Structure 1
Amino acid sequence: MESGDAFFEELEQDLVEHGRFKTHVVLIKSATMIQLRFHIEGELTLTCDRSLEPFDEHFDINERIILKYGDHNEELTDEIEIINRNTARVNVANYIFDFIALSLPVKKIHPDLRTDEDESDEEGEDGILVYSSESTDDVPESEDDAPVDPRWEALKKIKGNDN
C-alpha cells in the first residue's frame, strides 16, 4: 500500500502533516490468532527544532502485532492485543501511524545543521551521570571515618548522646 498526506489528514492528529510511504503487510491467520508483520518505508516532512525549516526524514520500520481471539478487546502488551472473536475487519491504519510516530527522532534537526554531537545524542551513547550507588575512593565507606558536621554534634548533645 502506498500513502501520503491524505493518510495523516484522515487520522486527525498534529504530530505529522506531510509524508509519503509504502507499507507491506503480511497477515498470517491461524485458529487462535492473527499475526501482522509490517514493513514501512518512506519519508516524512518535519520542521527543524533549531531553524524551523522543513526537511525530509527517511525511515525504515519492521514491526509486528499479534491479535489473539477472545471475548473482549484488550491491549496486553505493545505487541499483543486481544480482539473479539466476531471481529470481521481489522483496521491497520492506527498501527501504521503508531509505528511511524515512534520512529520520529526526539530532536528534529535539519541534516545540514547536524553535528557529531547531535549524532552521538541520537545513538544513545554516553550521557550525564546524575546518581550512582557505587562507592568511590573519595567517599568514606563508614560513618566512623566521615567527618561530622558540627551542627549535628550540637544536636547530639541536646539529645544526650555524646557519641
Structure 2
Amino acid sequence: MKALTQYDIDIYGLKEKQYVFDFESKNEFFEELEQELIESGHFKTHLKLDKSATMLMLTFHIVGKVELVCDRSLEVFEEPLDIQERLILKFGDHNEQLSDEIELIRQDTVRINVASYIFEYIALALPMKKLHPRFRTDEEELEDEEEVDGILVYQTPEEETPEEPEEKDPRWAALKKLKGN
C-alpha cells in the first residue's frame, strides 16, 4: 500500500477553486492493487479537481500503455490508451455510489485516494478481445460492423436463400392475379 499513498489527496483544507495533480503509474501501481487483469504498464494521469461547497468534480486524463497477452497467439504486446473520464463526488451523510459518474462521500472526509479510480478507468478502456496489432486488420475484414444508436452491431454476410418454386396449383395463380389489381 506504500506505493498507493502518492495518490492520496487531502481535501479537508482545500479552498473552493480548481487544483491540478499529476501522477505517474508504473508496474508497482498494478502490483499494489492485488489484481490479475494487468501486470505491467506505464501511465501518466493529469487530474483536475474542482472543489465547491457541495461537491468535488474530478476530471481524469490518462495516457500510457499497458502490456497485454494476445488471446490468439499468446504473445505479449503493448496497448496504447488515451482515456478521459469525469467523476463527481458529492458531499453527504454516508458513502454510496449513485452511478458510474457520481458518488456520495461523507461530509467529514479528510482525504481521498484516486488510485482505484485510475485503475478502474484503465481496466474499462482495455479491449474485450485482446488481439496483437498484426491480427487486427484480419479480424476487421472478417466482420462488418455498424453503429446503431451508439451500439456496435456486427453483421455477417447474408446467405442467399433459394427461391421457392412456383406453386402449380391454379387457385394460387388466380389469387395472384387478384393481388395485382
Q: Tell me if TM exceeds 0.5.
A: yes
Bigger strand share:
2
Task: State the Cα RMSD in Å.
Answer: 2.0
Q: Is the 8 A contact 2:68 2:77 kept in 1?
A: yes
Identity value in percent = 61
Inter-partner Cα distance in structure 2 for 1:19 and 1:118 = 26
Q: Which sits farther off after the overlay, 73-82 or 116-125?
A: 116-125
CA shift at 1:116, angstroms?
A: 4.7
Superposed, 1:41-56 pairs within 5 Å as: 41-56=63-78
Q: 2:154 aligns with which of 127, 133, 143?
A: 127
Q: 1:106 aligns with which of 128, 136, 148?
A: 128
Question: AA paired with 2:120?
Answer: D
* Unmatched segments (≥5 aa) in structure 2: 1-22, 157-181
Regions of 4+ moved over 6 Å: none
Question: 1:88-146 CA distances to partner (integer Å, 9 max, x unpaired)?
Answer: 001100000000000000000001122253376788654259xxxxxxxxxxxxxxxxx
Inter-partner Cα distance in structure 2 for 1:117 and 1:59 = 20
Inter-partner Cα distance in structure 2 for 1:18 and 1:123 = 33
TM normalised by structure 2 equals 0.67
* Unmatched segments (≥5 aa) in structure 1: 130-163
* Equivalent position of 1:80 in the other structure: 102
Inter-partner Cα distance in structure 1 for 2:56 and 2:145 = 34
TM normalised by structure 1 equals 0.74
Inter-partner Cα distance in structure 1 for 2:87 and 2:67 = 26
Q: 1:122 to 1:88 in 2, by over 3 A?
A: farther
